């Protein structure tokens, strides 16, 4: 902003109202409000539809539909139009960016579904389906991404659409993505995460100007970064023998360029879950690395996800999550069924690695 313009617009600044988390009750469907904390049971009359019955006997039907998460105002208004015409003017979003429309009568469900589908919003994501992939920001908006997030998700959901609109998986399948190696993504039955393959290349001319060197040195999980003088200027150096290519030094110091069109790859992890149902929550485990970061549709990633997903669908028992299925059949069989390779890189080398080894004489043949 120019000085003149700044002066011109100078008014008493408005003090913010620090209201924090908005109260949801003014926005909540009246039946949800009325029966708050007093629900008795639910069932699912068809994929994409939940039917909840309250202790009062009130019933509410919820129709769930997928969205692209990154929505333009026209898409949101279209969803609002559908909500006003075919539902009752109240919606909510799930953690995985699906939208839910609540109605007080089953009669309203078919038209609602029809109109959502006609406008291109797939109805599903309930029960034992593959729900929307939870995703991050990527090239669209993050300052450190190794790949795009929305594009990977769109490509995969085009393929997974058939499983989103059905409930034919052994249990729910929750897929996540992360467009850098260390930040936003969560644990998933299948996780598609960036995996860098080369240490950062340092632009020494810029380090001195833009980086707080102690902060960068402190960020490295393996203490591979040292202050160094390069061409008479203070800079940093990386011990490439130690470096685990995590990219943690890149956010505090953009001259530590970790991304490269050829060195930024994708890895696939399986068997993570947050839910406590049956087994304890678990972290996902590496199964494939070095898949090419291949926009706009990442076909190599799609192929591996498909293999894993359908091996699970075919072989798991009802209610086994991905990780629980593998726990039962064993990793040798998993690699066999999915036709994937087991390498030295699957052997953990991080703190606590010993606890990931087979400390027994139990062997799967």
Partner 1 sequence: MSAAEDRATTAAGPTVPSWPAFVLGMMTSDKGTAMSKDDKIGAAKHVTPHLDQLEGGPWPSFVTGLKRLRDSKGKQYAPMMNDLLGQLEHSYTNRLGYWKGGTVSVFGYGGGIIPRFSEVADKFPASKEFHTLRVQPPAGYHYSTEVLRKLCDIWEEHGSGLIAFHGQSGDIMFQGCTTENTQKAFDALNEIGFDLGGAGPALRTSTSCVGHARCEMSCYDEVKAHRSVLNKFVDEIHRPALPYKFKFKFSGCGNDCVNAIHRADFAVIGTWRDDMKVDQEEVKAYVGAVGRKYAIDHVIAMCPTRALSLNDDNTLEVDNKACVRCMHCLNVMPKALRPGDDKGASILVGGKRALKVGDLMGTMMVPFMRLQTEEDYEALVELAGKMLEFFGENALEHERIGETIDRIGLPAFLEAVGIEPDPNMVRHPRTSCYVRTDDFTEEAEKYFERKKFERAAKKPPVAKAAE
**Tokens 């058939």, residue?**
162
- Cβ closest to ligand SF4, residue 215 vs residue 222: 222
- Cβ closest to partner 1, residue 274 vs residue 341: 274
142 binds ligand SF4 (CB under 6 A): yes
Tell the burial category of 38 from Cβ atoms under 10 Å away from its Cβ (0-12, 13-18, 19+).
exposed
- Cβ closest to ligand SF4, residue 178 vs residue 338: 178
- Taking CB under 6 A as the criterion, which residues in 184-203 touch ligand HEM? none
Residue from 116, 249, 288, 301 touching ligand SF4 (CB under 6 A): that is: 249
111 binds partner 1 (CB under 8 A): no
For residues 236 and 149, give the distance between their C-alpha atoms in angstroms, rounded to a whole number.
Answer: 31
Count of beta carbons in the 10 Å neighbourhood of residue 1: 8
137 binds ligand SF4 (CB under 6 A): yes
26 binds ligand HEM (CB under 6 A): no
221 binds ligand HEM (CB under 6 A): no
363 binds partner 1 (CB under 8 A): no
Contacts 24+ apart (CB under 8 A), 137-140: 137/179, 137/184, 138/179, 139/179, 140/70
Exposure b/e, 263-287, CB count within 10 A at least 16 = b: bbbbbbbbbbbeeeeeeeebebbbb
For residues 186 and 150, give the distance between their C-alpha atoms in angstroms, rounded to a whole number.
Answer: 16
Q: Which two tokens stand for residue 275?
A: 């839910």
45 binds ligand HEM (CB under 6 A): no
For residues 187 and 283, give the distance between their C-alpha atoms in angstroms, rounded to a whole number.
Answer: 6
For residues 132 and 74, give the distance between their C-alpha atoms in angstroms, rounded to a whole number.
Answer: 21
- Cβ closest to ligand HEM, residue 142 vs residue 230: 230
Least distance in angstroms from the C-beta of 221 to ligand SF4: 6
- Taking CB under 8 A as the criterion, which residues in 3-32 touch partner 1? 13-29, 32
Count of beta carbons in the 10 Å neighbourhood of residue 131: 26
115 binds partner 1 (CB under 8 A): no
180 binds ligand SF4 (CB under 6 A): yes
- Taking CB under 6 A as the criterion, which residues in 181-240 touch ligand SF4? 183-185, 199-200, 219-220, 222, 224-225, 238
Binding site partner of 244, from ligand SF4, ligand HEM, partner 1, none, Cβ cut-off 5-8 A by kind: ligand SF4
187 binds partner 1 (CB under 8 A): yes
Hey, which residues does 269 pair with through a beta bridge? 191, 286
Residue from 34, 226, 274, 278 touching ligand HEM (CB under 6 A): that is: 226
For residues 164 and 174, give the distance between their C-alpha atoms in angstroms, rounded to a whole number.
Answer: 11
- Taking CB under 8 A as the criterion, which residues in 212-271 touch partner 1? 215, 218-219, 221, 246, 248, 254-255, 257, 259, 261, 264
Exposure b/e, 99-108, CB count within 10 A at least 16 = b: bbbbbeeeeb
- Cβ closest to ligand HEM, residue 221 vs residue 234: 234
139 binds partner 1 (CB under 8 A): yes
Tell me 103's DSSP state.
E
Binding site partner of 213, from ligand SF4, ligand HEM, partner 1, none, Cβ cut-off 5-8 A by kind: ligand HEM
Nearest alpha carbon to residue 86 among 65, 113, 59, 61: 113
87 binds ligand SF4 (CB under 6 A): no
Binding site partner of 243, from ligand SF4, partner 1, ligand HEM, none, Cβ cut-off 5-8 A by kind: ligand SF4
214 binds ligand HEM (CB under 6 A): yes
């Amino acid at each position: 902003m120019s000085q003149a313009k700044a002066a011109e617009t100078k008014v008493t600044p408005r003090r913010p109202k620090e209201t924090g988390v908005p109260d949801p009750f003014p926005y909540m469907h009246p039946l949800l409000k009325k029966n708050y904390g007093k629900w008795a049971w639910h069932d699912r009359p068809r994929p994409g539809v939940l039917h909840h019955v309250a202790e009062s006997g009130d019933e509410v039907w919820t129709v769930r539909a997928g969205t692209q998460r990154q929505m333009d105002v026209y898409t949101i208004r279209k969803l609002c139009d559908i909500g006003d015409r075919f539902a009752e003017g109240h919606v909510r979003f799930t953690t995985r960016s699906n939208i839910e429309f609540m109605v007080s009568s089953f009669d309203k469900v078919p038209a609602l579904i029809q109109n959502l589908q006609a406008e291109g919003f797939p109805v599903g994501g309930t029960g034992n389906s593959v729900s929307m992939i939870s995703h991050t920001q990527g090239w669209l908006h993050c300052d450190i991404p190794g790949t795009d997030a929305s594009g990977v998700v769109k490509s995969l959901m085009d393929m997974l659409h058939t499983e989103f609109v059905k409930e034919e998986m052994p249990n729910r399948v929750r897929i996540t993505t992360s467009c850098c190696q260390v930040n936003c993504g969560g644990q998933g039955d299948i996780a598609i995460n960036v995996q860098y393959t080369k240490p950062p290349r340092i632009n020494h001319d810029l380090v001195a100007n833009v980086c707080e060197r102690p902060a960068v040195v402190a960020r490295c999980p393996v203490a591979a970064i040292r202050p160094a003088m390069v061409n008479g200027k203070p800079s940093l150096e990386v011990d490439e023998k130690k470096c685990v290519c995590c990219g943690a030094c890149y956010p505090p110091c953009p001259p530590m360029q970790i991304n490269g069109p050829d060195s930024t790859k994708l890895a696939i992890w399986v068997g993570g879950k947050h839910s406590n149902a049956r087994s304890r929550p678990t972290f996902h485990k590496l199964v494939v690395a070095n898949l090419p970061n291949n926009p706009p549709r990442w076909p190599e990633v799609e192929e591996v996800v498909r293999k894993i997903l359908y091996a699970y669908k075919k072989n798991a028992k009802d209610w086994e999550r991905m990780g629980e299925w593998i726990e039962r059949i064993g990793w040798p069989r998993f690699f066999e069924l999915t036709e994937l390779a087991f390498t030295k890189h699957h052997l953990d080398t991080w703190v606590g690695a010993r606890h990931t080894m087979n400390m027994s004489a139990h062997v799967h043949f």
